[in-house]
Amino acid sequence: MSTTTSVEQATRYEAVIGLEVHVELATRTKMFCGCAIGFGGEPNSRTCPVCLGMPGSLPVVNGAAVESAIRLGLALGCEIAPTSQFHRKNYFYPDMPKDYQISQYDVPICLRGELRITVDGRERTIGITRVHMEEDTGKSLHVGGSGRIAGSDHSLVDYNRAGIPLLEVVSEPDLRSAEEARAYLAELRAVVLALGISDAKLEEGSMRCDANVSLRPVGHTVFGTRVEVKNMNSLRSLGRAIDHEIERQTRVLTAGDPVVQETRHWDEDAGVTSPLRSKESVDDYRYFPDPDLLPVEPDADWIDRLRAELPELPAVTRARLAGLGLPAPQVAVLVDTGLVRVLDAALAAGAAPALAANLLTNDLVGWAAANGTDPADAPLTGAALAELVGLVADGTLSTKLARQVLEAVLGGEPGGPRAIAEARGLVQISDTAELEAVVARVVAADPAAAQRVRDGNAKAIGALVGAVMRETRGRANPRLVNELLERHLHP
């Protein structure tokens, strides 16, 4: 709790933080219509009368989205409401097709859950107030001016995103530091990835996080005035924004001023929050039950089945991977990136855990970083990984060559690791006769080095091994080369 420590030294205030996290669901179709969900493509190409809010169109609830909501609720230990309802949240905004958002309000589908986080080795349980379903809005593009709506020449709206199902996960104000907030968001993300209900990319907005931050004197139980901070699009920016907001509020309170209840926008480049001009002076969304939709009443059998079919959750996964002998930092990477799915598929296909995990957490993650892509999107199946690990295990490939083959697979080369290795001539030379000839040539070419080895200078063998490797373009089995040289020079 490094942040709290610094705050305490200065002012004796404690931060009270709650997060509202939106998770964009990876269902096949939108929340209330049959439009496909996808990325890219022409603006407004994935729209229909329903998600464009055409007069007369009506919403129909996507059962797959309800299922995702229930599964997340169960994973978070929530009660699943036997009856929940959709309300209309009314306000005018150009990227909202109906000028109201269909959202759950006072009767959400999931209530009262919890999420365990670990910070600095200390485990804490963070309360989940609720999980509810709603629909996403479109996206506005403001042309001219600063790129924000004020001052622009004109605006264009893309409704491809309008109507994509969202789950909003609201935490209790149980978090006490930026570190805890980051840990909470990371853990929630890991749960979502384990469930496979969203790709949960903070940078791309398929997982979004708003933070409610207030301060109170240490030891007090009454909450201070709360500020909502928006626009954090990575774990790092969430941590920075909260730290900044804690410092800012501390300064305000220390100066004897009141904290203003408002919504503030996090500016990642400037590293500061600034007040967001509110849409209306007072937000009155005039919520009322949407008369176009019936209450959501999942039957108990369905809920029981979904509970029984829940996948392994991150805490259990971490313990299991640790049990395989994988080190904690590597386990964390596997769980946080979602690569544990690929690992598990490879393990199921017989791969050795340590080798497979190394290829994922070192090589694949490195490749993804270099290419600016999400590791989870890398085109590597568990079967392909298992094949690659097998090639290393049976001596066909060195780990260095395995890395090259992995890059070829990730680069989209067809055929699978073995075929790629053979096609590129990367297969390690373990043929004694073939290497014997090379060794003989190398020894003949550098009699001085050979003599030093014979004279007992063990280090001198390195130059000869290097020469063999050069001649075989790195494909020689290093262990075998050493053996052959030893035999050749110390007959």
CB of 56 to other proteins, least distance (A): 4
Per CB under 8 A, the segment of 56-64, 165-173, 388-396, 414-422 that binds other proteins is: 56-64
- How many C-beta atoms lie closer than 10 Å to residue 308's C-beta? 8
The nearest distance, CB 362 to Zn ion, in angstroms, is: 43
**Window of 7-15, 59-67, 360-368, 406-414 that interacts with other proteins by CB under 8 A:** 59-67
DSSP state of 133: E
Least separation in angstroms between CB 160 and other proteins: 14
Per partner kind, with CB cut-offs from 5 to 8 A, the member of Zn ion, other proteins, none near residue 301 is: none
Task: Say how many CA atoms lie within 13 Å of 290 toward its Cβ.
Answer: 26
Picked from Zn ion, other proteins, none, the partner binding residue 184 (CB below 5 to 8 A depending on kind) is none
CB of 211 within 8 A of CB of 247? no
**Is 284 among the residues that bind other proteins (CB under 8 A)?**
yes
Considering CB distances under 5 to 8 angstroms, the limit depending on partner class, which of Zn ion, other proteins, none binds residue 56?
A: other proteins
Which parts of 39-98 interact with Zn ion (CB under 5 A)?
Answer: 48, 50-51
Per CB under 8 A, the segment of 289-297, 325-333, 355-363, 460-468 that binds other proteins is: 289-297
Q: How far is the CB of 63 from other proteins (least distance, A)?
A: 12
Q: Is 165 in the site for other proteins (CB under 8 A)?
A: no
Torsion of CA 26, 30, 36, 39, to 10 degrees: -50
Residue 464's alpha-carbon distances to 11, 440, 467, in angstroms, are 67, 10, 5
Residues 6+ apart with CB under 8 A from 59: 31, 32, 33, 50, 102, 290, 292, 293
Q: Is residue 259 near Zn ion by the rule CB under 5 A?
A: no
Owner of token pair 């959202």: 103
Least spacing, CB of residue 149 vs Zn ion, in Å: 24
Pairing of strands 227-232, 263-267: parallel
| Residue 456: partners with Cβ closer than 8 Å, 6 or more residues away | none
Shortest distance, position 159 Cβ to Zn ion, whole Å: 8
Burial (Cβ within 10 Å: 0-12, 13-18, ≥19) of residue 428: buried
With beta carbons less than 8 A apart as the criterion, state whether 21 and 66 touch: no
User: Would you say 58 or 440 has its CB closer to other proteins?
Assistant: 58
Answer yes or no whether residue 92 interacts with other proteins by CB under 8 A. yes
Residues 6+ away with beta carbon under 8 Å from 419: none
**Residue 90 lies near other proteins (rule: CB under 8 A):** yes
Binding site for other proteins (CB under 8 A): 49, 52-61, 88, 90, 92, 94, 97-100, 149-150, 155, 157, 284, 286-288, 291-294
Binding site for Zn ion (CB under 5 A): 33, 35, 48, 50-51
